[in-house]
Homo-oligomer: A and B are copies of this chain.
Amino acid sequence: MNLLLLLPEDLISPDHARLTGRRLRHVREVHRAVVGEDLTVGLLGGRMGRGRVLRVDDEGLELALSLDGEPPPKLPLTLLIAVPRPKVLNRVVAAAASLGAARIVLLNAWKVEKAYWASPLMKPENLREQLLLGLEQAKDTVLPELRLARLFRPFVEDELPGLLGGGTGLLAHPGTGGVAPKVLGAPITLAIGPEGGWIEAEARSLTEAGLRPLDLGPRILRTETALAALVGRLF
């Protein structure tokens, strides 16, 4: 946690916060903060700055806030990610948020098992928690927009062309020989497939919706590794 993210309900006045739970435990056990110390804090959806510890004990953490900085700008990036296995879902969602994507769509695909959608980790509370962890890691305060697209075809045919706008659409798809364009029109929409990849019908639908195939080379990377490598390459 590189930034302590305050929620609106933590504020007891505009410059005074009180919080409990996971964040209190983290501040006590990892930061080992003491009264008088300054912590890096940010208000969810708002400004960032410092919080001076007024009190920290079993009851809670009280902070005097001085929020004078803006969060880092979001990347003009929409990520379409085929729903990963529950075991890696949390990491992928938090990584996508930490990298600064403005919008994340978790999308169905042929090789996404139905059980993935049924996982308790796909519940909105958990997904929001992972986004918050990504923001705390990256020192950001602004949640990306998160959407779940349970039906591949209606999403890709009816909604994706509109989401693309005038920007660049890219489809990570091995074996196509497509290279990353040198000059990119922002915004960028980037689609990353499931383990085992997109099936050809999906790749065709995504291409028809306006995405260009992008070949990452002979190495097959895990979703979160591919995601970060592509963001590093494109921005």
Enumerate chain A interface residues (CB-CB to B < 8 A).
2, 72, 95, 98-100, 137-140, 217-222, 224-233
Given A137-B222, A228-B229, 13 more A-B residue pairs with CB atoms under 8 Å apart are A72-B217, A99-B219, A100-B219, A138-B220, A138-B221, A139-B219, A139-B220, A140-B219, A224-B224, A224-B228, A228-B232, A230-B232, A232-B232
Query: In the complex, are the beta carbons of B138 and A98 less than 8 A apart?
Result: no
Given contacts A228-B225, A229-B229, contact A139 B218 (CB under 8 A): yes
* Closest 9 pairs (CB-CB, A-B): A229-B232, A232-B232, A228-B228, A72-B218, A232-B233, A138-B219, A228-B229, A225-B228, A2-B220
A54 to B226, CA, bound (A): 34
A-B contact pairs, 23 of them (CB 8 A): A72-B217, A95-B222, A95-B225, A98-B221, A99-B219, A99-B221, A100-B219, A137-B222, A138-B219, A138-B220, A139-B220, A224-B224, A224-B225, A225-B228, A226-B228, A227-B228, A228-B228, A228-B232, A229-B229, A229-B231, A229-B232, A230-B232, A233-B233
Kindly list chain B residues whose C-beta atoms are within 8 Å of the C-beta of A72. Answer: 217-219
Task: Report B-chain residues with C-beta under 8 Å of the C-beta of A227.
Answer: 228
A138→B220 CA distance, assembly (Å) = 4
A230 contacts across to B, CB distance below 8 A: 232
**Chain B hits for A220, CB < 8 A:** 2, 137-139
Query: Which chain B residues border A229 with CB–CB below 8 Å?
Result: 99, 228-229, 231-232
CA distance A220 to B2 in the complex (A): 8
Report the nearest B residue to A226, measured CB to CB: B228
A233 to B226, CA, bound (A): 12
Residues of B contacting A218 in the complex (Cβ-Cβ under 8 angstroms): 72, 139
Taking the closest CB of chain B, its distance from the CB of A169, in whole angstroms, is: 18
* Chain B nearest Cβ from A49, distance in angstroms: 14
Which residues on B sit within 8 Å (CB–CB) of A137?
220-222
